[in-house]
Amino acid sequence: MQFLSAQFTESDIKFWVGTGSKKAYFIADFNDNNTPASYAWGYRFDDANLTMEDLINGIAAAEPGIEADIPSGFLYSFNYNHHIPSLDDYWSTWSGPNSDNMVLNNGVNNDPLVNGKWYGISYGFDPDYTYPSTPVAAYHSVWYSSSQIVNWIGAGNNRSLVVIDFGTNSSNGNADSFVFGIQYNGSLNAAQALELIKTQAPYFNYTVSGNQIAGLSLNNFSGTPSGQQAWKLYKGKNLSSWRGQTSLSQIQLTNNEWLGLSFGQRLPFTPTEATNSVLGVASAHKNNFKIYPNPATNFIQIDSNENIKEINIYSVSGQKVLNSLGKKINVQPLEKGIYFVEITTDHQTIIRKLIKQ
């Protein structure tokens, strides 16, 4: 039996299945090389004649990412998103009074559900090494989808979400987790995705060191690694399928794939779209800028009553293509298409769309 660093309790569970006054808890540990490898769900019930098999089937029915096969009461297979164990070994089944005090039981169809009891499965039938490890809270795959994004950044046929979770909660209990929707063609690595956001969201900033996030801010929210607190990187296709990544360079996004950044221990949680109103971004000076002509062929002129420090022009993929300190810019070298003009003054940074003819 392995020793756990911290006990996982009922209060940590996010995904509950069923109804009733009684509660049972379920851990599935895939014992593989993925991060995370172990997840927990909650199950509510009233029926006095249920078994662990009913608990597993109920959770599998509620989560599209789970495939469970229990022929004749024997747990043959249990797959969850990218966790697909081979059939060369068996699942061991466990139960006990809490998450870190379970013993091998008599199988999923012979262990009745008891109020307050914990149940677990772990891939590999070895009682010395396959005890269910400390899990993370499982999330539902449909708690958030790209259809909820209103404002998309960039242009192209492919779409991805970038979820940024600061690991804290607001005063009303909602997670301080925010999402950007990005559009692009082909594929993007993580750094390109973040740069694309930066070109259109001047209230977003980040720094990188050694292929890791060294600091990140979103208006008044910020996270700088210190002690045990650090930014963790994830990739997935929905909230239930986050998979830990070791570095920014490891992450390549294609259509419908998500990038997740979380500060602390929580997996990137159900987000709110990152907008000016949500983040409290001031907009009093946003109309004090004018770019003309637009569309443009040869030159553009920037008019502003503020002192302009720098002007950068980015492609829709987030690549910087021009830099200027002057208000008149030669755009003849640019190919036809859509660009984003980043104007930095003494007081703010704003983004304007530019069409090059």
**Where are the domains positioned within the chain?**
12-137, 146-273, 290-356
- Give residue 221's identity as a one-letter amino acid code: F
To which residue do tokens 């499965």 refer? 121
Q: Going residue by residue through the chain (357 aa), what tens digit of pLDDT does each one get?
A: 333 346 899 999 999 999 999 999 999 999 999 999 999 999 999 999 999 999 999 999 999 999 999 999 999 999 999 999 999 999 999 999 999 999 999 999 999 999 999 999 999 977 666 789 999 999 999 999 999 999 999 889 999 999 999 999 988 889 999 999 999 999 999 999 999 999 888 889 999 999 999 999 998 899 888 888 899 999 999 999 999 999 999 999 999 999 999 998 899 999 999 987 788 776 544 456 788 899 999 999 998 877 888 898 988 777 889 999 889 999 999 999 888 888 887 766 677 788 899
Evaluated on CA atoms 260, 265, 269, 272, the torsion sign reads negative
Topology match between the domains 12-137 and 146-273:
yes
Beta-bridge partner residues of 227 = none
pTM of the model: 0.78
Closest CA to 107 of 116, 94, 117: 94
Pick the CATH number of 146-273 from 2.40.128.20, 3.20.20.60, 2.170.130.30, 3.30.470.10: 2.170.130.30
Q: 175 CB contacts (<8 Å, ≥6 apart)?
A: 165, 168, 169, 266, 269, 270, 271
> With contact defined as beta carbons under 8 Å apart, do 161 and 259 qualify?
yes
Tell me the three state secondary structure of residue 67: strand
Tokens standing for 341?
Answer: 């003009």
The backbone region for 299, taken as left when phi is positive above 0, alpha when psi lies in -120 to 50, beta otherwise, is beta
CATH match of 12-137 with 3.90.850.10: no
| Two structure tokens written together for 81 | 């998103």
CATH code at 290-356: 2.60.40
> Which token pair is 17?
């299945």
Rounded distance between C-alpha atoms, residue 193 and residue 184, angstroms: 9
SS3 134: coil
